[in-house]
Amino acid sequence: MDARERRALARHAGDVVEEVTTTVEDTSQVVRNRVRRGLGPFGGSMDLIDAHQAGVYTTVRATARVSSRAAGCALQRSTPAGAQSVRTNPAWAPFVAGLGAAFGDRLDPALTNEMALWRDGRPISAHDLPASPALIVFVHGLGATELMWDPAYLEVGPHAMVRYNTGRPIAENGRALAGLLAQTVDSAQVKRLILVGHSMGGLVARSAIAQAPDAQWVRALSDLITLGSPHTGAPLERVAARLLAFGQRSRSAAPIVRLGQRRSQGIKDLRFAAMSDGDWSGEVDAELIDNTAVIDLPAHVSHHAVVAFLAPVVGDGIVPASSAAHPGAQVTVVPGDHLSLLKDPQVRDLLAQVARG
C-alpha cells in the first residue's frame, strides 16, 4: 500500500467510526424516547441521561476524527519509497474493487479505480496500444476488475481492457468511458470497434454510446456484446430499496435505514438501469417507479445480448432473463450463472464469430 492509500485508508476508517457512532447514538435515542414515554410524567428524568449520552458520542466522534487524521499523516510519512499500490497488487485488487462498488462515490480517489486501460494488472495509456484496425474492448461489471476475464476471450483478437470505479453513477462512468474510447480509437487507429460488457459493464457501454452519438469511436463501433447486463434493472436492488423504504416507516429502524442508504450510487442505479444524468438521483429509497429514459443504439451497431440461465424466475442468479435479453438484440442463451459468463466457451465462440465479421 503506497503512502497516499495509507493516509486515505486511515482517514476513512475514522469516518466509518463516526458514522457507526452516529447510528448507535440515534438507535439509543429511539430506545430512550420509548422509555421516556413509558415513564409518563416522570419522563423528564431521562434528560440528564440524554445530555450525558450526547457528550459521550460527541467525544467518540471527535476522537475518531482527530486520531484518524493524525494516524493518516504518520502512515504517509513512514511509508517506504516505492511501496506498491494495492490497486496493482493482484491479491488486493479485488478488495479495492469491492470497496469501490459499495462506497466508491464517497471514497478518496486514492482508494478507487479511475476509468483507464489496464494490462497485466497495471494501468496503461491509450498510446501504449499498437495500431489495430479492429479492436475489442472489455468492460467489467460491479465490484470486478479486468483480471476476471477468461484468457480465452482475450485470445480472440487485438483487445484492450478497462478498469473503473463501479460505485460511481453509471452515467458518470459512461461519460468517462466515452472519453477513454475516443483516445483509444484515435491512438490505435481503430477502424472497427467491438465493445464487450459484463453485467453493469454493458450498461456503462450503452451510456457511453448515448452520450457521444456523433463521436468517431461510435462511428467505428460495429458490435456491442452484453453479458448478463440488467437492461431493465436488477431485482435484488429493487428488493433492497423496498425493504429500506418499508423500514423508514419505523422510528426504531430509521438509523439502520440511513446506514443502508449509504450504499453507492452505482448500486442504486442498477435498480432501474439508470444510464442518463436526468434519470433520477437515487438518493431516496422511496423512489420505486422506473422513470429512466429509453436508450436506443445507433442503427449501424449490432447488439448481441447473452443470457445465462439457471432456472425460470431465477435467471442467472443475479439478473433475470427478461432483463438481460434487451429488446432488439440478438439473444443467445447459455446454461450457467452470472459469473460463468466470464468464462463460457459459447461466449468465446460468439465473440470469435463477431470478431470475424
pLDDT digits (tens, 9 = 90+) for 223-272: 999 999 999 999 989 888 888 777 766 666 676 777 777 789 999 999 99
The band of 151, judged by pLDDT with boundaries at 50, 70 and 90, is: very high
Residue for grid cell 442467472: 316
The band of 289, judged by pLDDT with boundaries at 50, 70 and 90, is: confident
Residue 313, all three cell numbers: 424466475
**How many alpha carbons lie under 13 Å from residue 232 in its C-beta half-sphere?**
9
pLDDT at 281: 58
Host H or E run for residue 335: strand 330-335
The band of 282, judged by pLDDT with boundaries at 50, 70 and 90, is: low
CA proximity to 295, closest of 217, 198, 205, 163: 205
Task: Compute the distance between CA of residue 271 and CA of residue 222 in angstroms, rounded to an integer.
Answer: 29
Task: Compute the distance between CA of residue 332 and CA of residue 205 in angstroms, rounded to an integer.
Answer: 19
Task: Compute the distance between CA of residue 152 and CA of residue 163 in angstroms, rounded to an integer.
Answer: 19
pLDDT at 110: 83
If you write DSSP's letter for every residue of 96-133 in order, what string do you get?
Answer: HHHHHHHHTTTS-GGGS--SEEEETTEEE-GGGSPP-S
Higher pLDDT pick, 181 / 357: 181
CA proximity to 32, closest of 250, 256, 251, 246: 251
* Number of helical H runs and strand E runs in the chain: 12, 8
- To the nearest 10°, report the CA torsion of 214, 185, 100, 305: 70
pLDDT at 351 over 90: yes
- The separation between CA 317 and the C-alpha centre of its own chain, rounded to angstroms, equals 18
pLDDT at 252: 66
If you write DSSP's letter for every residue of 82-101 in order, what string do you get?
Answer: TPPPGGG-TTTHHHHHHHHH
Q: Which residues contact 81 (CB under 8 A, 6 or more apart)?
A: none
pLDDT at 98: 92
pLDDT at 61: 83
The band of 285, judged by pLDDT with boundaries at 50, 70 and 90, is: low
Higher pLDDT pick, 25 / 67: 67
Give the full edge-to-edge strand order of the sheet including 122-124: 122-124, 116-119, 159-163, 134-139, 192-198, 221-227, 302-309, 330-335
Residue 154, all three cell numbers: 482475450
Average pLDDT over residues 49-74: 83
CA proximity to 116, closest of 76, 88, 84, 80: 88
Indicate the pTM of the whole model. 0.88
Average pLDDT over residues 102-108: 86
pLDDT at 231: 96
**How many alpha carbons lie under 13 Å from residue 160 in its C-beta half-sphere?**
29
Encoded amino acid at 73, one letter:
C
Q: Which residues contact 7 (CB under 8 A, 6 or more apart)?
A: 72, 73, 75, 76, 110
Q: Are 338 and 319 in contact (CB under 8 A)?
A: yes
pLDDT at 286 over 60: no
pLDDT at 287: 62
The band of 284, judged by pLDDT with boundaries at 50, 70 and 90, is: low
200-211 and 170-187 helices, crossing angle to 10°: 70
- To the nearest 10°, report the CA torsion of 55, 61, 64, 67: -70
Higher pLDDT pick, 249 / 122: 122
Percent of the chain at pLDDT > 90 equals 52
Q: Which residues contact 42 (CB under 8 A, 6 or more apart)?
A: none
Beta pairing partners, 137: 160, 195
Q: Is 228 left (phi over 0), alpha (psi -120 to 50) or beta?
A: left
